[in-house]
Chain A
Amino acid sequence: MLKQYPTLRYVLQKGFWYFLTFIVAIAINFALPRLGENNPVDIVMGKAAQGLSPEEAMQKKETLLKAFGMAELDDQGKVIYDTIPEVDANGKAVLDENSKQKMVPQPRLSSGISQFFVYVKNVFHGDFGLSYSQYPKPVIEIIKESLPWTLLIQAPTIILGWIFGNLLGAFAAYKRGIFDKVFFPVAMFLNGIPYFVFGMLLVALFSVTLGWFPAMNAYGMDVIPGFNWAFFKSVGYFYVLPFFSCFPILLSGQATGMRSMAIYELGTDYMKYAKWLGLREGKIISYVFRNAMLPQLTGLAQSLGAMVGGALITEMIFSYPGLGMAMLTAIQQNDYATIQGCTLMISTCVLLANFLVDILIAVFDPRVKAGLQMGGK
């Protein structure tokens, strides 16, 4: 039945693939922190247990185990306890007053697989656990607060960088000459610079030396966040440096890619043939641009991960209150749940963006509509 709707079939296929990838991303997010010898609860407990009585500590541990989906629960949803021999810090058995092995209750841990399923279930319910450093704030709250800022920085830089980079690259390929000779080396130099390094250079010049723009935060101390003009103005003013520490590099990356794609397209047999047929130059250029745009879209899909990673670190340079900054704070405070929540959120966003690009490819590549080519990837 789907044969009649090739575009739909393509989108569904892609969607299914991204769903699988999402599951893998969750698995990675779940498994990597457990690679170390400690489980997340033990990491958190190390600090959390300080100054607590043994009962309180056990209570805390139970809450944490439940929160992390790591405890085996009985029918009533209560943690099952095993009685095990107590050991001291050196791993030697602790004896009670009768010189017999001392037994203590210990929560029973569920198996890795069932922990994973609980984790997946929680994730799909938007439950990323509780932040440890801002206990008992749910991680999802932290993400909700910081995600908009990250989107504010990343979406415009990536979209505008892509559009203007492609226009610039096509123009350079078409014009060649002086413009191209100046443009190309500059773009190449910019390509080699990581965002955060470029950001630091901008700070050194425009903030430290010239004092034109603030180097920190997303808005001034003197405005109240909310729906008011002063706040927007302040946000715009603080936006300039973070934006321009990503935008030019993104732009030049896209432009050099487009330039070589367009030069390639200009030399293809079909463009030559179009010239022989006497097609107008404007028409030929529009074909070149359109054809070169498709691999550029695929290229965008592939480099999204790197772009997003780079921009997250830029946030940290400017203490911009997005996901990158939230993650940095969490890293500094060993807040494992928050780190995990942020990384999963980032993966999710990148996957969604990729999916979006693949749909765009389906829209712009007529061959997908004809059920001919799977576009992308």
Chain B
Amino acid sequence: MIKLLKNLMKSPMFVVGIAIFILSLLIAIFGPVFYNVDINARDIVAGPYAPSSSEHLLGTDHLGRDYVSLLIAGLRSSLYVGLIAGIIATTIGVFIGLFGGFRGGWIDEVLNMGTNLFIVIPQFVILVLISSAVKEGRSLTLIGLIIGLTSWSWSARSVRAQASSLRSRDHIALAKMNGDGNLKILIKHVLPYLLSYVFMVFIMQVSSGILSEASISMIGLGPLDSTSLGIILNQAKDNGALSDSIWIAFLPATLVITLTVFALYLINTSMEGVFNPRLRK
């Protein structure tokens, strides 16, 4: 484990990725401690779209709310949604993929068909349908839940491929001959081999969760109980920031999303480089 980490730390991609990600986590968690401006407070004196000042580092939004504290709150929500969606999607995907890929036979066929269904039917469509159906109760947690429940197909597919390639390995045949139950084999012999892979899947699911939340908020179906980066963008767009050339209202938020997602992407790619030769062996 420590050796793995050492190997990873040698990759500049990984170091940059993890640094950006940890920084964004720290800002999301401890940001309010250092920069404590109430996001609901409207600064009437400074007014809407106030320029940067000592009071408001990046100025204010269309309602006169402090932009930096909105960004911090938005980042916090985005990471929260991403993690919830990531955990749910990875769990479902790993379970279905592992079970189907390992068992084979008709169970695998059925699970695979279901997975393919969800790959082909756009996730975006399902997200829109559900989010617009649940109107009042659309909380941040619920959005994360919905995203997680609709985005697992991709993980299931790739885990299945890995699991079915493992199925024919010697040590698993040996365990079967020893009379070990399927569940025991899965947990003791299959999962450890896939652990690094599952972690990579998780990272990608988190980043796609963050993006999905931003997309769904962007079209006005975002959470009603919190501010997220997507909501900031949505409000900037709806209040004419794009057409009125008020770039400060949307540029920082876009950069925060891009950097966070890019950091996860870097981590994933660098891990692939380190783990894959081992997987292929």
Residues of A bordering B, CB below 8 Å = 18, 21, 24-25, 28-29, 32-36, 188-189, 191-194, 196-197, 200-201, 203-204, 207-209, 215-216, 301-302, 304-306, 308-310, 312-313, 316-317, 324, 327-328, 331-332, 336, 339-340, 343, 346-347, 350-351, 354, 377
Residue B63 CB within 8 A of the other chain: no
Interface residues of B in 87-102 (CB under 8 A from A): none
Specify the main secondary structure of chain A where it touches its partner.
Answer: helix
Binds A, one of B25-33, B164-172, B215-223: B215-223
**Closest chain B CB from A173 CB (angstroms):** 16
**Closest chain B CB from A375 CB (angstroms):** 14
Chain B residues closer than 8 Å to A208, beta-carbon distance: 242, 245, 247
- Given the complex of chains A and B, what is the CA–CA distance between A265 and B276 in angstroms? 16
Residue B189 CB within 8 A of the other chain: no
Interface residues of B in 102-151 (CB under 8 A from A): 116-117, 119-126, 128-130, 132-135
Chain B residues closer than 8 Å to A216, beta-carbon distance: 242-243
**A305, closest chain B residue (CB):** B122
**Closest chain A CB from B120 CB (angstroms):** 6
**B229, closest chain A residue (CB):** A197
**Closest chain B CB from A44 CB (angstroms):** 13
- Given the complex of chains A and B, what is the CA–CA distance between A18 and B119 in angstroms? 12
Q: A188-B266, A347-B122 are in contact. List 12 more A-B contacts (CB 8 A).
A: A29-B125, A32-B130, A33-B132, A192-B207, A196-B218, A305-B120, A306-B122, A309-B122, A309-B215, A312-B124, A324-B219, A343-B129
Binds A, one of B44-52, B76-84, B251-259: B251-259
Chain B residues closer than 8 Å to A317, beta-carbon distance: 218, 237, 242
Chain A residues closer than 8 Å to B124, beta-carbon distance: 305-306, 308-310, 312, 346
The 8 Å CB contact of A204, one of B207, B250, B269, is B250
**Closest chain B CB from A32 CB (angstroms):** 4
**Closest chain B CB from A116 CB (angstroms):** 15
B251 and A33: CB pair below 8 A? no
Given contacts A32-B129, A343-B129, contact A316 B218 (CB under 8 A): yes
Listed A/B pairs (13) with beta-carbon separation below 8 Å: A21-B117, A33-B132, A192-B258, A193-B262, A200-B250, A305-B120, A310-B124, A331-B132, A331-B220, A343-B125, A347-B125, A350-B120, A350-B122
Chain B residues closer than 8 Å to A336, beta-carbon distance: 132
Chain B residues closer than 8 Å to A351, beta-carbon distance: 120-121
A33 and B265: CB pair below 8 A? no
**B210, closest chain A residue (CB):** A194
B215 and A310: CB pair below 8 A? yes
Chain A residues closer than 8 Å to B218, beta-carbon distance: 196, 313, 316-317
Chain A residues closer than 8 Å to B71, beta-carbon distance: none
Residue B211 CB within 8 A of the other chain: yes
**B214, closest chain A residue (CB):** A194
B265 and A188: CB pair below 8 A? yes
**A216, closest chain B residue (CB):** B243
Pick from A204, A327, A351 the residue with the most CB of B within 10 Å. A204
- What 10 pairs across the A-B complex have the smallest Cβ distances? A309-B124, A305-B122, A32-B129, A192-B262, A192-B265, A208-B245, A36-B133, A343-B125, A204-B247, A197-B254
Pick from B117, B125, B261 the residue with the most CB of A within 10 Å. B125
Chain A residues closer than 8 Å to B258, beta-carbon distance: 192-193, 197
B261 and A193: CB pair below 8 A? yes
Given contacts A32-B126, A215-B242, contact A339 B132 (CB under 8 A): yes
Chain B residues closer than 8 Å to A328, beta-carbon distance: 219-220
**Closest chain B CB from A312 CB (angstroms):** 7
**A18, closest chain B residue (CB):** B120
Given contacts A21-B121, A308-B122, contact A36 B261 (CB under 8 A): no
- Given the complex of chains A and B, what is the CA–CA distance between A310 and B135 in angstroms? 23
Chain A residues closer than 8 Å to B250, beta-carbon distance: 200, 204
The 8 Å CB contact of A21, one of B120, B220, B221, B242, is B120
**Closest chain B CB from A87 CB (angstroms):** 22
- Given the complex of chains A and B, what is the CA–CA distance between A28 and B154 in angstroms? 19
**B246, closest chain A residue (CB):** A208
The 8 Å CB contact of A209, one of B220, B247, B262, is B247
Residue B233 CB within 8 A of the other chain: yes
Chain A residues closer than 8 Å to B247, beta-carbon distance: 204, 208-209
Chain B residues closer than 8 Å to A203, beta-carbon distance: 242
**B259, closest chain A residue (CB):** A192
